Amino acid sequence: MFKNYLKIAWRNIAKDKFFAFIKIAGFALGIAACILISLYIKDELSYDKHYENKDRIFRVYSSLHVDGKLEQWSDYPAPFATALMSDFPEIEKAGRYLNSELFGTGSKELRVEGQTQNVFESGFIYADQELLEIFEIPFSKGKKEEALTSPGTIVISEEKANTYFPNGDAIGQTLILGNDTKKPYKITGVMKKTNQKSHFDFDFLMTTKGRDFYPGEDTNWRAQNYYTYIKLNEQADPKEVEIKLQDIIKKYFIPDAKNRGDQSMIPYLKEIKFHLQPVPNIHLYSNDIQDRMQHGDIRFVWLFAAIAGFILFLACINFINLSTAKSANRAKEVGLRKTIGAFKTSLIYQFLIESTVFSLISFGLGILLATVLLPTFNTIASKDLSIPWTDWWFIPTLLTSSLIIGVISGLYPAFYLSAFRPSSVLKGQLSIGSKSKKLRSGLVIFQFTTSIVLIISTLIIYQQMDFILTKKLGYNKEQVIIIKGTASLENQTEAFKESLENISDIQSVSISDYLPVHGSKRNMNSFWRKGKFRQERAVGGQIWRVDKGYVETLGLTIKEGRNFSERMATDSAEAAIINEKMAKELGFAKPVGEYLTNGELKKIIAVVEDFHFDDLKKDIQPLVLTMGNSPGMITARLQTNDFEKSVGKIQSIWDMFIPNQSFRYTFLDQDFAKMHAEVNRTGKIFNSFAVFAIFVACLGLFALSAFMVEQRKKEISIRLVLGAPFKSIYKLLTLDFMRLIVIAVLIAIPIGWFMMNRWLEDFAYRTQISWEVFLLSGFIAFVVALFTISYQSIKAAIIKPLNSLKTE
């Protein structure tokens, strides 16, 4: 019997190739989209799930409401981890890592001892020995238990060990970092390469032992530079530990503030709350926590999962629509089979098997399509995904899914078709049921509503991206080259700068690695007005060390006052330029000539217009510029259209000064675009799947229009014989569909507005959602739908009536 069902299913597919193709193509596209998004979601959900004790590993972070706004951060003072271990027996281990650019983490020039050529590398941090154990980092060489217990030790990844020591053992070798020959690092461990995903992903772990990054660090409870992780013992309750952690404030933070005479901080310290974040949650649930890491976002995971589900649902709708629409063609078959004794259940089995065959064929094509599209998707999503052919679960999951989807999508058509009454069918009354349009109309509306919401989302995302890239930033990011790794120039930095200034293509040069893009230095300080030091509430803000060329090179606008001057000796010691936000926060009506302090008294000589030095999801912070040494990067403003020639001139000077170090550079506008690459990626992903959804919906609309033309062919022929013009025939066949699209537009507009308004709330600076977006989205859907059905409508309007009527 089952074999017979398969034969009939295959004959029906072969008999009506056009509608079979539409069903299979729609299913295949939906399945391909689901596979791609599923791989993306699986990758995002896999972070930090591999630890044996993952339920006991937590990151500590804090929260505080300031002026009605929730602030969350995860960096703590140096002695914080020690206090956790000594005061809380529930904590089995506590470890820190330093992620402050102030102390030389992030990127470095390095070379193996005995070599002369430096190589640029990223992925450096200072880490405690305890982190190796908390994160269960496997070693391929070396003793993990003591790898970072001694000063001057470093642990490197297996990949870097193979790069620098391809023919030997890396253990015991020495690395020179940043040309600092006085502080070499001995390799004591090699981290084994794994395929596991982790937010804690670095290639070089330098020990914190023997490094005092500033005087009195071990007892300083104010400078917060370390991220702290803990591992609880098996009996500990994380919620109870969270509550007990509040005692840290009373025992350490408040007494430290009192000892410093900083009474203004005590009310705020009392309001701070400590939280334990499970390590598997860090990657996707840290969007609102300040930690300078690259994260995913659980909201996008759910959103893409919904998109995948909708696209697959659209494909199922096509199947249901076409099956019920073609019911008239199957009605006689159902009537005859029932007349000769076929049971309803056997007919249901028949139609379910047909839908399952469709599903299996579609899954095969969908997998093939996903494999072809995966490299493009990886580029768009900035991922390195692959089809997991060898994983034991992959093929069984696909087969099971194809069977389930085949059965689900075939349920309604199976029960609908099997319910025909033989007497009604054989009397010619079958058309009453087969032409019922309510269900099909509702499903078409749903398809295009989903598609239009995706179009609206795509347009608003691109509008926000354009807003970011073209917004007035308060500085000029065009034609500014950033020369990296310039700290290696050491005492030749000024001479190198002077040589650059002699190039005619260069307008100005600045030495500073505090720049308004990610990857440059940042810090955080507290500021008061003169005479109010630690008496009033502090204003938190950045303090950047720059030179006199900084303002001109970055194109900052001085609103009042003057720039730094090397001719005035006091500028290097006590002058400060502040932004408008700092002036406002400190309450200065006329800031120039006033004083501020963060422990060191500074005289304000100028106010610059506020400029964005972080991504546009964040508001502009208060900022202080002072003259100082920060030589990690050099920026130069070019005045030429031949950038390649100018870069060549700069490189030739570089090679004269330090020929053993590679010349690295970027442009400020490129780094700015990278800072907002996530928004761009999101837009491209939305765009891709919006095209998927529209195409699937149009496949169904095309097939339905073809069916309607087939059903009304004789009616159209009679109208043509009676003299109906082409225009009236075209209008007859398209008007009903266009009404459905208009309804879909009206439903999609509020849904799209709500979704994208919520998304834009993440940005401190955002575009306005204009009515033009909805008008354009509706117009696109309308034109696409009209184009889809026009082929069949025009084809019907130009048929020869006799060919359709001669069979009567």
The predicted-structure confidence for 668-703, as pLDDT tens digits, reads as follows 999 998 888 877 787 788 778 777 777 777 777 777
| pLDDT of amino acid 791 | 73
Separation of alpha carbons 484 and 220, rounded Å: 32
Average the pLDDT over each of 67-81, 214-228, 336-350 and give the range with the smallest value: 336-350
Burial class (CB in 10 A: 0-12, 13-18, 19+), 707: buried
Residue 549 has pLDDT above 90, yes or no: yes
Residue 426 has pLDDT above 80, yes or no: no
Average the pLDDT over each of 483-492, 503-512, 629-638, 665-674 and give the range with the smallest value: 483-492
Burial class (CB in 10 A: 0-12, 13-18, 19+), 366: buried
- Which residue do the tokens 């000064």 mark? 657
Residue 328 has pLDDT above 70, yes or no: no
Beta bridge partner(s), residue 174: 186
Per-residue buried b or exposed e for 185-222, using 16+ beta carbons within 10 Å of the residue's own CB: bbbbbbbeeeeeebbbebbbbbbbeeeebeeebeeebe
Residue 425 has pLDDT above 60, yes or no: no
Give 215-251 pLDDT, tens digit per residue. Answer: 788 888 988 889 999 999 999 999 999 999 999 999 9
Could you tell me if 641 and 588 are in contact, meaning their C-beta atoms sit under 8 angstroms apart? no
Could you tell me if 55 and 733 are in contact, meaning their C-beta atoms sit under 8 angstroms apart? no
Separation of alpha carbons 327 and 711, rounded Å: 11
Per-residue buried b or exposed e for 112-129, using 16+ beta carbons within 10 Å of the residue's own CB: eeeeeebeebebbbbbbb
Q: How many CB atoms lie within 10 A of CB 764?
A: 13
Residue 598 has pLDDT above 50, yes or no: yes
DSSP 605-630: EEEEPP---S-TTSPPPPEEEEE---
Could you tell me if 351 and 419 are in contact, meaning their C-beta atoms sit under 8 angstroms apart? no
DSSP reduced 3-state for 685: helix
Task: Kindly state the tokens that stand for 297.
Answer: 């976002």
Label the pairing between strands 57-66 and 226-232. antiparallel
Kindly indicate the confidence band of residue 414, based on its pLDDT and cuts at 50, 70 and 90.
confident
| pLDDT of amino acid 105 | 64
Q: What is the mean pLDDT of the chain?
A: 85
Average pLDDT (404-424) is 74
Kindly indicate the confidence band of residue 560, based on its pLDDT and cuts at 50, 70 and 90.
very high
Name the phi and psi angles at 296, rounded to 5: -90, -170
| pLDDT of amino acid 608 | 97
C-alpha closest to that of 636 among 515, 551, 553: 553
Separation of alpha carbons 499 and 489, rounded Å: 13
Q: Return the higher-pLDDT residue of 727 and 564.
A: 564
Residue 416 has pLDDT above 60, yes or no: yes
Kindly indicate the confidence band of residue 435, based on its pLDDT and cuts at 50, 70 and 90.
very low
Average pLDDT (326-349) is 69
| pLDDT of amino acid 415 | 79
Average pLDDT (331-351) is 72
C-alpha closest to that of 572 among 629, 515, 623: 629
The top-scoring range by mean pLDDT among 341-355, 579-593, 722-736 is: 579-593
| pLDDT of amino acid 558 | 96
Burial class (CB in 10 A: 0-12, 13-18, 19+), 309: middle
DSSP reduced 3-state for 601: strand
Residue 588 has pLDDT above 80, yes or no: yes
Number of H helices and number of E strands within the chain? 27, 24
Beta bridge partner(s), residue 510: 635
- Ramachandran region, residue 172 (left: φ > 0; alpha: ψ -120 to 50; beta: rest): left
| pLDDT of amino acid 807 | 53
Length of the chain as a residue count: 808
DSSP reduced 3-state for 792: helix
C-alpha closest to that of 675 among 471, 458, 374: 471
DSSP reduced 3-state for 308: helix
Kindly indicate the confidence band of residue 329, based on its pLDDT and cuts at 50, 70 and 90.
low
DSSP reduced 3-state for 430: coil
Could you tell me if 410 and 404 are in contact, meaning their C-beta atoms sit under 8 angstroms apart? no
Average pLDDT (380-405) is 88
Looking at residue 503, its amino acid is I
| pLDDT of amino acid 43 | 93
Give 639-657 pLDDT, tens digit per residue. Answer: 988 889 999 999 999 999 9
C-alpha closest to that of 44 among 223, 394, 305: 305
Residue 295 has pLDDT above 90, yes or no: no
DSSP 743-764: HHHHHHHHHHHHHHHHHHTT-S
| pLDDT of amino acid 181 | 80
Separation of alpha carbons 28 and 364, rounded Å: 8
Residue 360 has pLDDT above 80, yes or no: yes
Average the pLDDT over each of 274-278, 613-617, 686-690 and give the range with the smallest value: 686-690
| pLDDT of amino acid 582 | 96
Residue 787 has pLDDT above 70, yes or no: yes
CB under 8 Å, gap of 24 or more: what pairs does 558-563 form? 558/606, 558/607, 558/608, 558/609, 559/606, 559/607, 559/608, 559/609, 560/591, 560/592, 560/606, 560/607, 561/591, 561/592, 561/604, 561/605, 561/606, 561/607, 562/605, 562/606, 563/606
| pLDDT of amino acid 422 | 66
C-alpha closest to that of 205 among 192, 189, 193, 184: 189
Task: Kindly state the tokens that stand for 29.
Answer: 């596209």
Average pLDDT (474-482) is 94
